[in-house]
Amino acid sequence: MDYPTALEQLRRHAGLAKSKPTAADFQYVLYLISDKQKFLPLQPLAADVLACLEVVNRHLNGTQPADTDDVDKAPVLDRELVYAVNSLLTAGRKYAAWMAAESGFEAAQVEEMRRAVQSIELGWNFVLAGDSNSIEQEVATWLD
């Protein structure tokens, strides 16, 4: 996957793409959960967001970010990228709080929602830090 593809996937996950949303889009699934009051798996979608963030990380910070000098890393971030990730996090936190307060969801479902949002947040933080060679590994370490 290249950077333009990753950016478009992040925009789709955030509900910002021009295409019709589907059950493969993170923010749309959040809406479906609230609309139907029925839980749908979020972890695969969060994993796809992290895969996109891996591409973004290499695009901004070099093929081996931990070994790339700071002067060779992107000095500015694409506004579309920042808006897409911020939209994912804002909606994710909103729906996670709603699920936690709403009766009818199992504790494991609430926890999956929390972990999905937290994994995206951690992944984004690692992209911004610019010194992680594997976003997915770093997130897994922090979540365990």
Chain segment 28-37, per-residue pLDDT in tens: 999 999 988 8
The pLDDT tens digits for 82-117 are 999 999 999 999 999 999 998 788 999 999 999 999
Query: What local confidence, expressed as pLDDT, does residue 103 receive?
Result: 73
Biggest CA-to-CA distance, the chain: 51
